[in-house]
Each structure stands twice: as structure tokens, then as C-alpha cells.
Structure 1
Amino acid sequence: MEVINQLYEMTALGQIAESPGVLLMIVIGAVLLYLGIVKKYEPLLLVPIGFGIILANLPGGNMGVVPADMIELPGHRYMNLFEIASEYGIMNYIYYSLIKTGFLPPIIFMGVGALTDFGPMLRNLRLAFFGAAAQIGIFGVFFGAIALGFSPKEAGSLGIIGGADGPTAIYTTILLAPHLLGPIAIAAYSYMALVPVIIPLVANRLMTKKEFKINMKKQDKLYPPKYEIKNIKAVKIIFPVVLGVVIAFLVPSSVPLLGMLLFGNLIKEIGTITQRLSDAATGPIMNTATIFLGLAVGATMTADVFLDLKTLGIIVGGFLAFAISIAGGILAVKVYNLLYEEKNQSPGWCYRFERSPDGFQGCQ
């Protein structure tokens, strides 16, 4: 019986009996894997996050990320990375060296910048207005979260989910409310992955059949800009440099993220002489960073952290932020179209001149 008892203690069965919530977390991880593998919803993100959740909640595996107060030493000092790895395992080493320090989100942003084309926006600055309107979810949920009892820093971390960008949500949360990193990262990436589900849910309630028929790819041809950019390549090279300098003066705290985004965009737009840098940023560097980011973020989702009312509030609030931002962008376009139609219908206003064969120039 003693041998049998020792064998039993070597297994994780006793720990599961003491903390049955880990089974629910393993199911949640399996659901994220299903969405990433079968449904193909952001598999590059949901697969490592889902597997990270499973690893973190396997009893006895020592793969879950521990709170920061557990690595604190007397005198407001903290363990070094080797001590963290020895005491709490490899996943805590990855988290506290790469995530907690804010290293990986800017690295991923560099790759995002190298994949971004600002050309359509530069040719048609109206798109910037639509993008700005789509941030309304951030501010709406921010004030709503404060009204519900969240601190301003926690509310800021929750509202940023409405920006629909995972690295931004992670970086902001690391600075403002690191204890909420797991739930906020899961909410942000999950809703990004569920874009094919959430956007139709909102759009079907706000858009008409006529609006659904608008082909955005044809808008530049149907409504060309008043002033054509003669050297678009030069503008696209200058743009990230100028924007980076201006934003650095206005919002210095955004430089780590925005600076890396614009650097990535710059090496893409320069062309062949920096092609190798662009390929590295969008290939091995970004892929490696995504793997570690996903696993470490998933490892923060242990049962004692996730199965909490505040965490459930974050999941709901994140969905509202995401949905309101989508609605804000749609409503901005509706307002613009309404004003544009009224302008076209006003007497004496021309949006295109036509010259007839007899030389008459009329307004159409």
C-alpha cells in the first residue's frame, strides 16, 4: 500500500482533485486550438496561446507563470533570471525576460510595419478619418470600466482591446496593469481571431444592402483624389520618418511601439537595398517572437487567475470594446457618405466636368 501511495503521489491525480478548475482551463486551451487548427482563425496566434494554456494548467508541470510578488525579494529587489528559471521553470524565464520587459511586442511591431502599405491612406486621407473613428471603442469602454470600479490603469488596459491589435494591448498592459496581462491578451487575440464572426455580427445590424455592395478596391478609380501624388515611392519613404519624429514629440511613450512599426515600414519601402532586412523582420524574427509571445501569454492563464469575476468582466468588456470600435468605423463611413451625397446634390457643385463634342463644358 505504501508503494501504491507513493505511485499515486507521483501522478497529478491528487492535484486535479484539489483544483478541478485546471480541467476547465485545459478545455479552454483545447477550444482555442480547435479555432486555430480547424476553423483557421489566426492559427499563428491561437495555436501557441492555446497550447500555452494547456501547459500552464497541467498539474505538477511547473509551466504556469507566477505573479510578480512571488519573485520579489526583501528590500524591493527581484530574483535574477537564472533564479527565476531554477525556481519556477522555463516558462517564467521566457515571460519575465521577453514579455515583462516589453521586448517582444515592439519586435513583432517591426514585422507588422514591414508588412504594412500606407499607400492607399496617403493617396486618400479620408481613410485616416475612418480609422480614427474606429477607436471609439477604446474610450467608451475606458470610461465604462472606471464606472464599474476598475482603476484608470486597469480601464486603459481593458479599453485598448478595442484597438484590435494584440502587441499594443500586451505592451500597454505591461506598463499599466501587468496583473491583468493574461486575460487581456487572451481577450485581444481571441477577438482578433474571431473577426470573421464579430464583424458580420455588427455589420449586419448597421449596414444596408446598398452599403454592402460598395467595392472599396474600386473607390480610387471611381473617385480619384483631387491632387495626385507624382512620386508616391518617395512619399512612402519619407512618411515613416516624419511621422515617427512628430509622434515622438507629441506622445513620447508611444515611441517603442510606433518607432519599431515605422522602422519596419521604412526598410520595406526603401526597396531592394534593404530587402534582406525586411525579409528578416517579417520572416524568422517575427515568427520566433510570435511563438514565444503566444506560449508565454497562454502560460499566464492559470485557473486561479482566469476563474475570477474580474477576468470574466475583462472578457465581456473586451468584446464590447471590439464591437463598438467596429461600429464606430461603420458609422463614420455612413456619416461621410451622407454628407458627400448632400454635397453632390447641392446646386452649382460639380464633381466632374464633361466636354461635349461641340466644345460645351458642363457640370455633371
Structure 2
Amino acid sequence: MLRTASRPINESILITGGAGFIGSHLCDRLVAEGLEVVCVDNFFTGTRRNIEHLLDSRNFELIRHDVTLPLYVEVDSIYNLACPASPIHYQHDPVQTTKTSVHGAINMLGLAKRLKARILQASTSEVYGDPTEHPQTEAYWGNVNPIGVRSCYDEGKRCAETLFFDYWRQHRLQIKVARIFNTYGPRMHPHDGRVVSNFIVQALLGKDITIYGDGSQTRSFCYVDDLVEGLIRLAATPDEVTGPINLGNPEEIPILKLATTIVELCNSRSAIARRERPSDDPYRRRPDVSRAEAILSWKPTTGLADGLTKTIAYFDGLLSDDTVRRTLQGNRD
């Protein structure tokens, strides 16, 4: 393992997308460590509920802002997490999604350059597209459709990575790039259309579990606490470590198996309902995390059943709100 970079005692950290699913958990960790955290979010997919418990903390500040516009703050380091990450949300306004990835990266990189700050980009496994290499290593260039319905997100993130490395080559900016694979846990958006949140909500409501295709397609799922630990370790590496580094769980599971596991953990009687598989939906996705293990001494430690149990408890509590429950009942097949 490489040595970690020294961290100032009173370091201030900007987290864009900080009220989102992953961002809010990252805010929790860094605030708990006593660091000054500036959370920026436009609340398109992030929610105030995710960070409300932090608002009275002396070392936490919330700014409502869209990263496609310039931002002027004084911080020591930046985590750039801002971008809708689920197909339902990023396809809602695909032009804005691309702007968030590209213009947002330009604005945050410009800020980091001015401040001489470290900056971490939350990239994605979607840069690999529908991979022909399995599992996916960071050296794999991907198999991405540049004009498909998912391209606004896939290519937006690929362009953001290009910008990060060009700023590193041209300006010697201290960059870190994390390629995040499927992450799940409490605070997932109930309307995000991802399989874990979909299946849990459907199972808790006693509705059919919707599977696209025959369910043989596979994914690997990383619990959010493990992912946040990986991000923090990557951000703390010395300047010569830029990434990209895969962060995810290398244990692969068929979607049908995930569905039956969630039904069992929810003690649900939901049946399986099959739908046509969406366009450009990858058939297999699993990270090679050997680089993260070697450089960060990191690997996920939360078992799927344990992580799902915690996530189910969160959604069960969310559904205790009658307004939320009625909304979800009206939006789930």
C-alpha cells in the first residue's frame, strides 16, 4: 500500500451532490471526523431529508447550487459527486445530464485549479458500457454506444474523465478518479428505478417484482459504507495516484437471484413479472478491484444479506409515512 497524503487538521471539503444517496453518507463520515464540510446540491435527486440531521453541526454548511454554474468558495479539497445516476433520472433531461457531467467538471476543475485543491471525480462503471471484457479492469476502454438513450450519462462521465486527466497533464492538478460500480443502501431514492430500490419497494408493498429480460443478466452490489470508505482512502492518496480506480463489489449475482433474495428477506409474497429488456442495458457487470486492494488496501466487507437487511429497514421506515406510501403505490407496477 502507498502512503497516504497528510491531511490538514482543519481541512475544509466541498462535496457536490452532497444531499444525494452517496454524497450524504460521505458528508456523515467527514463531519464525524471533525472536518469542515460544504455540501452543494440542487436537489434534483438529492433531498434535504438526507442531510437534515447535519444542519445544526458547526462544521457543516449547505449551499443550494447547480454545478453547471460557476461556484466561488474557499476549500482545501473537492469531491465531485453531482449528477443524476439512475436511468429514470438522467434520461429525464438528457441534455442537462450531459451538462452536469461536462460543465460541472469544468467548473469544479477550474475551482480546484484556482484553489490548488485536490479534487476527486465520482465516475462510474457505465464508462465500460456493455463490456466485452469481464471482469472490467481500469485498462479496459469500454464498449459504449455514443448515441443511445444512456449516452448522456455514459459519455458525459467519459468526457469528465478526459477533462480530469487533461487538467492533470496540462496544469498538474491533484486529481483522483473513482469508477463506482452499483452501490446500494439507506437513502437510495425510492423513485430511482434501480433494481435494489425497485425490488425492495415492490416487495414491501406486496407488488409484483419487475424483472427486465429473463433475469440472467448479472450485477455486483457494493454497500454504501464500503464505497464511502474507498472514496476517502482514494482521496487521501499521494499526488502520484490519480486513478482511475474501480470501487465496487467483485461478487456477481444474477438479477433473478437478487429478486428472490429480497422477497425472502422482506417476507413478501410478491411474484416475478417479466418485461422487455431496455436498450443498451449491459448484460454483465463486475469490477476487477485488484488495483483498489493493492493501492488502497480496500475491499468491500459488507455481505449482501447484511446490506440488504439494513436497506430494507430504511425503506420500511420510509413507507411508514402515508404520503410516501401512497406515492410509491401509485408509481409502482
Per the normalisation by structure 2, the TM-score is 0.23
**Greater fraction of residues in helix:** 1
Instruction: Name the structure, 1 or 2, with higher relative contact order (CA <8 Å, separation 6+).
Output: 1
Bigger radius of gyration: 1
**Greater fraction of residues in strand:** 2
